[in-house]
Amino acid sequence: MRVRAVARCPLRPAGVARLAAAVLRAERVRHAALSVTFVGRRRIRTLNRAHLGPDRETDVIAFAMRGAPGLVVGDVYCAPVVAARAARRFGAAPKAELRRLVVHGVLHVLGYSHPEGDRRTTSAMWRRQERYLVQFGRLAP
């Protein structure tokens, strides 16, 4: 597990690694090569435009890659500034929103998806994410 902060992030790297590892264990993943990187607004926008199409900022992007059989390989990129803006909009704490994005990104790497729009927060993936936050959120202070 590799955690890097290219942009200012209020979460401790060791806590982020514990949170991501707990989600992987809960999903019965035994072997993983996962990185979580905190980036600025420009970098997340560039990643979004280059790999997903929209020329706009987003809060989290996850990439799953092919690994050896039984090995999960992926990268998660979170934008703390974008997450803080969303946290204010939803009345959440910035750290809580970042934890949500880490779990969300890990689930995407594992192949989970959700619909866009209003149905996003009622999807099976979202419910799983929220359950993991309750169980493991305290691991990332």
Which range is least confidently modeled, 54-58, 99-103, 119-123?
A: 119-123
| Domain layout of the chain by residue ranges | 2-139
pLDDT of residue 7: 95
pLDDT of residue 33: 97
Residue with token string 């999960």: 72
pLDDT of residue 121: 87
With CA atoms as reference, report the closest residue to 47 among 65, 35, 60.
60
Residue 107 has pLDDT above 90, yes or no: yes
Q: Per-residue pLDDT averaged across 25-30, rounded?
A: 97
Residue 130 has pLDDT above 90, yes or no: yes
With bands split at pLDDT 50, 70 and 90, how would you rate the model's confidence at 86? very high
d(C-alpha 55, C-alpha 39), whole Å:
16
d(C-alpha 3, C-alpha 105), whole Å:
13
Cβ count within 10 A of residue 34: 24
| Class of the CATH-defined domain 2-139 | alpha beta
Residue 120 has pLDDT above 90, yes or no: no
With bands split at pLDDT 50, 70 and 90, how would you rate the model's confidence at 23? very high
